Amino acid sequence: MTAEPKILITGLEKRYASSRNGEQVAVTGVDLTIGAGEFVCLVGPSGCGKTTLIQLMAGFEQPSRGRPTIDGRAVTQPDPDHIMIFQDYGLFPWKTVLDNVLFGLEARGVAPGHARTRALETLELVGLRAAAAKHPHELSGGMKQRVAIARALAVKPSVLFMDEPFAALDTFTRLRLQDELLGLWQAQRSTVVFVTHDLDEAIALGQRVVLMAAGPGHIQRIIPIDLPYPRERTSDEFARYRRELFAEFHLVHQWAANPGGDVEGRGGAGI
């Protein structure tokens, strides 16, 4: 992590009103500092609060306690400098690829000529310059996701929030987009918060992996991944991190199944 904190979260809690049992605590007691330019992955089982946490950071949800800050300012609403990429791409079907990418730039008041140059440059970066005049329905899932990434990166956001952006893609497309995303991150130095279910994806991408657990949602452990980029997914070091994360993940599941029980090896887990 760099010395300068970008996102600061202290004692964060989110409760949702629930029709059946009053209130439900989605996440609680979350403390997390993310450095400027850092790439952080959030992983954890379904329902442990990953989406809730990233939406609180991005200003799409309001906390019950402990409002996050970005650059020292309280997050109260979505900010055009902090872009969120959703799993369903969020493209406008009636607009061409180029117009989809232009949308964010024009919304920020970038002059039309400059916006067009910037949009085409960004499409070039994600390998879709030739598809600029197509509409989303003419593209594959991987291409649509690249348009969504291009649209986000075109505005050079200082923070990029990504909630399982590659979950619907096949392995080959996913691996390619992971590498592309890393290349773009290294070129632009945005701060990236990336939610995934996939432990390998988290190890391939994150400088730190934040492992979350349910009951209610909290941070179980933060694991720094001390490997140079690009990461060799078949290396022994990669396998060592995979073993460590899987072991920790196993503990999370044991804990979820038997919350009050004495789970062997929990000692150093930091629950």
Ligand X SMILES: Nc1ncnc2c1ncn2[C@@H]1O[C@H](COP(=O)(O)OP(=O)(O)OP(=O)(O)O)[C@@H](O)[C@H]1O
| 24 is an interface residue for ligand X by CB under 6 A | yes
Tokens for 131, please give them. Answer: 């598809």
DSSP state of 79: -
CB of 255 to ligand X, least distance (A): 15
Residue with the CB atom nearest Mg ion in the bound state: 51
CB of 189 to Mg ion, least distance (A): 26
Residues with Cβ within 8 Å of 217's Cβ and at least 6 positions away in sequence, in order, are 25, 26, 27, 28, 30, 44, 47, 48, 49, 50, 52, 53
Among the residues of the chain, which ranges form H helices? 50-58, 97-107, 112-125, 141-154, 171-188, 199-205, 236-257
The stretch near Mg ion (CB under 5 A) out of 47-55, 232-240, 249-257, 262-270 is 47-55
Decide whether 190 or 196 has the Cβ nearer to ligand X. 196
Name which of ligand X, Mg ion, none residue 47 binds, using a CB cut-off of 5 to 8 Å depending on partner kind: ligand X
User: Are the C-beta atoms of residues 128 and 147 closer than 8 Å to each other?
Assistant: yes
Residues in the chain: 271
Tokens for 256, please give them. Answer: 């979820």
What are the φ/ψ torsions at residue 106 (nearest 5 degrees)? -65, -35
The correct pick among 28, 51, 178, 220 for binding ligand X (CB under 6 A) is: 51
| 217 is an interface residue for ligand X by CB under 6 A | yes
CB of 202 to Mg ion, least distance (A): 14
| 55 is an interface residue for Mg ion by CB under 5 A | no
| 51 is an interface residue for Mg ion by CB under 5 A | yes
The stretch near ligand X (CB under 6 A) out of 45-53, 62-70, 122-130, 223-231 is 45-53
Which residues of the shown chain bind ligand X in the complex (CB under 6 A)?
16, 24, 26, 44, 46-52, 197, 217
Which residues of the shown chain bind Mg ion in the complex (CB under 5 A)?
51
